[in-house]
Structure 1
Amino acid sequence: MEVAARVLLEALKRLLEDGPYEARLVGGAVRDRLMGREPNDFDAVVVGPALSLARALADAVGGAFYILDARREFGRVVWRSPQGRRFYVDLARREGDSWEEDLRRRDFTINAMMVEIEAFLRPEGFVPFDPLGGLEDLRTGWLRPCAPDAFRRDPVRTLRAVRFEAELGLRLAPEAEAALVEAVPWLFLTAAERIRDELVKILLIPPAVRSLRRMEALGLLERILPEVASLRGLTQSPPHVWDAYAHTLRAVAAMERLLGSWAESPELQDLPPRWAEVEAAMAPWRERLQSRWEEEVAVGRPRRALLLLSALFHDVGKAGTRTVEPDGRIRFIGHEAIGARWAADRLEALRFSGDEIEEVETLVRHHMRPHGMARRLTPRGIYRFFREVGERGMDLALLALADTLAVWGPTLTEDIWGPRLRVAQALWQAFFEAPERFVRVVPLIRGEDLLAMGVPEGPQIGRLLEAIREAQAAGEITTREEALALARRLIDEVGESEARG
């Protein structure tokens, strides 16, 4: 067992020995140890004051304590090890009058195995208390609920079933699948935050498209992400190879691969193998890009998940903007703006944070911008791009590549791909190698300089400064003197124009 985990559990064991508590470990940590995996998330069932024990554990290890449900005496301890790894211990009061009764109220048999902490710490392993046959289900690969009404009692378990199938390679038992489908309509009773957390966990298990297909088959997709489900069967004109939904899944698969996953899927195999070229294009900045993608925008939700959500939502606006021209051509004018609004509304309903919503909304709204830049790539255009989207331009470059691969698929030509790859590389290079020119421009002159030249206070000053910043980004001026000279010329041009008018 990992040293840090042992330190944490030994602290809990000492508290149990010294206080009025009795507790056992249950759930995912027990399952993971039996599968040979090292857990960092532990669940303890407590007979006694569970919140007091949680608070005492947090104090003992120098961690943070949170009350998750005061009525049920359910608390969480979050502790960061000296090596920087984060560990969680959830402590809850035992439900029912016995350990077995508590287990029967849990979600799946594989999570209804229990062990005393002392036994869990033994290096030679342990035999769990397993009245529901979870160990045998792990061996045979079945995912079974602990009770026939498990999904109805907690509908979020429908999503957890999809996650455990993907994460553990299990398959939902046939009778359980029928019970799951019956419980899907009851998801509206579940707190949106819980649905959000399960959705993010699902997306972070490669290949995400496998789970999305599974959610579709079980009726979960249209319940949780109806905007995405509405794309099914929405036909598109060439150069699109697939309908809007099939295209979206391939964009998600492409995004996942560009983020570094090697998980295979049928959708990924449909796409041209341009991965090495993208890796070469981002190679000088790969570590910094990777660090950005792994950064948590909200606790437990890295930017990687937001990029996958952006790929999932990037075309949802097409369901509301589809028109057919007299010549039969299908168009989706303004789908970016509509899609951005719909994506923001859905993420708000799922209780994502404001920062997360803004990131996804920006990526969806501007996902076509890099495509346009491929027709004519200029320094001035790069500056304007980053002026609009800021540092999210790095992520937009990746989304545009994923979109390109999913539009053309096997019909993609070098004439299309080459310029778009060069745009992505130019955007990454501008951000990392010349931010003072393209992203965070260091002004050569300021408003007071223009005031001293006789320009009156007002919007003209802002327009002049912006024109000078653009010229600076384009490489047309590089010194303060050149900026002042340009300012005088622009002022004169404004004066001449007003005189003619």
Structure 2
Amino acid sequence: MQSVAAALERLGDLAASPTISRLANVFAGAGHELALVGGPVRDAFLNRPTHDLDFTTDATPDQILRLVKPISDAQWDIGRAFGTIGAVMDGETVEITTYRADSYDGETRKPDVVFGTSLEDDLLRRDFTVNSLALRLPAVTLIDPSGGIDDLLAGVLRTPSTPEVSFGDDPLRMLRAARFTAQLGFRLDSDTANAMDGMSESIRIISAERVGEEISKLLLADNPRAGIEVLMQSGLAQIVLPEIPGLQLETDEHHHHKDVYQHTLTVLEQAIGYEKSRGRLDPAGDLIVRLAALLHDIGKPATRKLEPGGVVSFYHHDVVGAKLAKKRLRALRFDNDTINAVARLVELHLRFFGYTEGAWTDSAVRRYVRDAGSQLERLHILTRADVTTRNRRKADALGFAYDDLEARIAGLAEREEIDAVRPDLDGEQIMVILGVTPGPEVGEAYRYLLEQRLDDGPIGAEEATRRLLAWWAARAEVPPTP
């Protein structure tokens, strides 16, 4: 957190930038108000980088468009019905929205859009006081009608109006509260937390897409654990991610196992650590890794079995969990690539643990790489993160074993181009050798040669041809099943 003086200096520098000063002067020259609002002002106090430039004004959407066209490279009005016009100025994206004074019916999240005339009134209808700050331009005057600066300094999330009114207007704000605790490291004030607890059911009127977007933003924050804990404490998780509360399995005096919920949060934190330390994925965070870490054990409640001798088993929870992950992510309208990648990681997350039980052959290592496919680096991260034992000797042994596996993968990759495992003959060559046309037989032959490649590594075209012809002859001798 910066001092108020330092934040104001930073805001002054921001206001003096060519894009903002030019925009401010154009609006002032036309007799309209303009203010930088929300995130950019808040982030100046938090010493965080500014990614978006959001403005608010008393000008109507038509007037905004007329003013920005001569000074921008591109414009769009997809949000015109809600008063928002977007533009690109000198490579920077800006969004300008007419003051709002909406009303809600309490049945849906869609408001009756009403344009307002006052900056202060517009700010008071926003989600949290820390986002209800504005910098009036070109005068560079800070506007704070709800005590947002005090809440910033205290690290508190509080609504400008009563939380019952705010969340009643827009229940999505409850998910945003969880997300901001993860992003900003703030805590909820008691009234806000109590209101979320009592109003969690109203989140059901929010579209699945918007819920999924907020969960994604939460998981990509610096500390997603804090946001997940807010979802759990408020009851929102039971509605939007019911598999996570389901991880709080009951125990009894005879059967003991790790707290699966706490284990999951630790795996998520450790996966983020590996993301950063390995440096091979998006430095802004990898959503697929984080979703897989959060969901990797959701098959355990359905597969939990109390065994004799005080043992709890979860046989096949990887396979069951992969199906449940697909179902949940589809319900939240994630894209198919993300759904399939996460489900694959959940399905494979236990595969490595067989490596410690006995040396894998090169064939087993090739199959591990083949099955992971494009998700191999993410599987490395998830598997390493899944080791949460407090037994240092056991943790070290698992870590060394995985180091060994990665070294073997690297060695095979260098010798055999393992990341692109293909048979030694392609489909065209198979058809010529066997004298067949495109059809199911070509696919069968291709799969046979792929298995040979996985078992023995590169065998060359001559040996592959010999094996293919022998397989084809043997196949012809086997009578069809009646």
**Same-fold call, TM > 0.5?**
yes
- What band does the TM-score fall into relative to the shorter chain? 0.7 to 0.9
Inter-partner Cα distance in structure 2 for 1:237 and 1:389 = 39
The alpha carbon displacement at 1:364 in A equals 1.3
Inter-partner Cα distance in structure 2 for 1:197 and 1:51 = 30
Inter-partner Cα distance in structure 1 for 2:269 and 2:455 = 36
Gaps of 5+ in 2: 1-9, 102-115
Residue 100 in 1 paired to residue 114 in 2?
A: no
Match of 2:228 in 1: 212
Equivalent pair of 1:306/1:356 in contact (CA under 8 Å) = yes
Inter-partner Cα distance in structure 2 for 1:415 and 1:140 = 44
TM-score for the superposition, normalised by structure 1: 0.78
Which of residues 343, 368, 389 in structure 2 aligns to 1:361? 343
Matches within 5 A, 1:5-404: 6-17=17-28, 19=30, 21-50=32-61, 53=64, 57=68, 60-63=71-74, 65=76, 67-68=78-79, 70-77=80-87, 81=91, 87=93, 89-95=95-101, 96-120=116-140, 127-148=141-162, 149-234=165-250, 242-260=258-276, 286-287=278-279, 289-290=280-281, 293-294=282-283, 304-374=286-356, 375-403=358-386
Q: Secondary structure at the match of 1:116?
A: strand
> How many percent identity over aligned positions?
28
The alpha carbon displacement at 1:392 in A equals 0.9
TM-score for the superposition, normalised by structure 2: 0.81
The alpha carbon displacement at 1:193 in A equals 2.8
The alpha carbon displacement at 1:450 in A equals 3.7
Equivalent pair of 1:393/1:427 in contact (CA under 8 Å) = no
Match of 1:271 in 2: none
- Check 1:74–1:326 CA distance in 2 against 1; reply closer, same or farther (3 A cut): same
Which of residues 454, 474, 488 in structure 1 aligns to 2:469? 488
Q: Secondary structure at the match of 2:81?
A: coil
Inter-partner Cα distance in structure 1 for 2:409 and 2:236 = 37
Residue 445 in 1 paired to residue 425 in 2?
A: yes
Equivalent pair of 2:255/2:311 in contact (CA under 8 Å) = no
Match of 1:479 in 2: 460
Equivalent pair of 1:66/1:75 in contact (CA under 8 Å) = yes
CA RMSD of aligned residues (A): 3.5
Which of residues 379, 400, 423 in structure 2 aligns to 1:418? 400
Equivalent pair of 1:23/1:44 in contact (CA under 8 Å) = yes
**One-letter code of the match for 1:22?**
E
Deviates more, 1:333-342 or 1:419-428: 419-428
**One-letter code of the match for 1:177?**
A
Equivalent pair of 1:382/1:438 in contact (CA under 8 Å) = no
**One-letter code of the match for 1:49?**
T
Q: Secondary structure at the match of 2:425?
A: coil
The alpha carbon displacement at 1:240 in A equals 8.9
The alpha carbon displacement at 1:251 in A equals 1.1
Equivalent pair of 1:74/1:90 in contact (CA under 8 Å) = yes
Inter-partner Cα distance in structure 2 for 1:182 and 1:481 = 72
Q: Secondary structure at the match of 2:270?
A: helix
Gaps of 5+ in 1: 121-126, 261-278, 280-285, 295-301
Equivalent pair of 2:99/2:118 in contact (CA under 8 Å) = no
The alpha carbon displacement at 1:28 in A equals 1.5
**One-letter code of the match for 1:24?**
A
Inter-partner Cα distance in structure 2 for 1:362 and 1:59 = 50
**One-letter code of the match for 1:381?**
A
The alpha carbon displacement at 1:105 in A equals 1.0
Inter-partner Cα distance in structure 1 for 2:179 and 2:293 = 20
- Check 1:24–1:199 CA distance in 2 against 1; reply closer, same or farther (3 A cut): same
The alpha carbon displacement at 1:311 in A equals 0.5
Give CA-to-partner distance per residue, 1:174-224, whole Å, 9 cap, x none.
223222322222111223333223222222223322332232222222222
Inter-partner Cα distance in structure 2 for 1:254 and 1:230 = 21
Deviates more, 1:364-373 or 1:219-228: 364-373
Equivalent pair of 1:380/1:470 in contact (CA under 8 Å) = no
Matched length: 452
**One-letter code of the match for 1:141?**
G
